[in-house]
Amino acid sequence: MTETIKNFIDGELVESATTDFIELVDPVTGEADGRSPVSLPEEVDRAYAAAERALASRPTPSRSALPSPLKSRGVRRVRNRW
């Protein structure tokens, strides 16, 4: 059975109004096991606005408040990209 993925917008799973979908293929079996909507621009805008609101409403700790392992992990990630 092929599952149709829903958009996750503002904490809810929402059906897309699009009629265009991308087939999702299991890389191991090569079989189609789902489909994902090619979301409409309005849906993308709603999701983006919801994400901005979520990020703006959460407190951001200062870097000095982070435990050392987390700080060093971030530095290693940046270093490994160069």
What pTM, to 2 d.p., does this model score? 0.62
- pLDDT: is 40 or 70 the higher one? 40
Domain boundaries, the chain: 3-81
Question: How far apart are the C-alpha atoms of 79 and 35, rounded to whole Å?
Answer: 37
Which is more confidently placed, 68 or 34? 34
Query: For the sheet containing 3-4, what is the strand order?
Result: 3-4, 32-37, 21-25
On average, the pLDDT of the chain sits at 85
In which band, very low, low, confident or very high, does the pLDDT at 55 lie, cut at 50, 70 and 90? confident
